[in-house]
A = this chain, B = another copy of it.
Amino acid sequence: MINELKESYGHLFEDALLNEIVQVGTFKEIPEGFKMMEIGEYVRSMPLLISGVIKVLREDNEGDELLLYYLEKGETCSMTMTCCLGQKQSEIRAIAETDTKLIMVPVAKMEEWTAKYKSWRNFVFESYHNRINELLMTLDSIAFYQMDERLTQYLIEKVRVNENDIINSTHQEIAYDLYTSRVVISRLLKKMEQLGKIELGRNYLKIIKL
A206 at the binding interface (Cβ < 8 Å): no
A61 adjacent to chain B (CB < 8 Å): yes
Q: How far is the CA of A185 from the CA of B26 in the complex (A)?
A: 54
* Alpha-carbon distance between A48 and B58 when the two chains are bound, in angstroms: 30
A86, B122: Cα distance in complex, Å: 9
Q: How far is the CA of A115 from the CA of B125 in the complex (A)?
A: 13
Q: Find out whether the CB atom of A142 lies under 8 angstroms from the CB atom of B142.
A: yes
Q: Give 16 A-B pairs besides A60-B144, A135-B136 with Cβ atoms closer than 8 angstroms.
A: A58-B136, A60-B140, A78-B128, A82-B125, A85-B125, A86-B129, A88-B129, A91-B132, A91-B136, A92-B136, A111-B121, A115-B115, A115-B116, A128-B132, A139-B142, A142-B142
Within 8 A of B (CB), among A93-122: 111, 114-116, 118, 121-122
Instruction: Give the CA-CA distance A118 to B143 in the complex, in Å.
Output: 38
Q: Does A131 contact B (CB under 8 A)?
A: yes
Residues of B contacting A122 with CB < 8 Å? 85
Q: Which 4 A-B pairs have the closest CB atoms?
A: A82-B129, A60-B144, A128-B128, A135-B135
Q: A90: shortest Cβ distance to chain B, in Å? A: 11
Instruction: Please give, as numbers and ranges, the residues of chain B lying within 8 Å of A58 by CB-CB distance.
Output: 136, 139-140, 143
Cβ–Cβ < 8 Å partners of A78 in chain B: 128, 132
Q: Which chain B residues border A136 with CB–CB below 8 Å?
A: 58, 91-92, 135
Q: A126 contacts the other chain (Cβ, under 8 Å)?
A: yes
A164 located at the interface, meaning its Cβ lies under 8 Å from any Cβ of chain B in the complex: no
Report Cα–Cα, A135/B83, bound state, in Å.
16
Tell yes or no: A42 within 8 A of B by CB: no
Residues of B within 8 A of A128 (CB): 78, 82, 128, 132
Are A139 and B140 also in contact (CB < 8 A) when A81-B125, A121-B115 are?
no
Say if the beta carbon of A37 comes within 8 Å of chain B.
no
A8 in contact (CB, < 8 A):
no
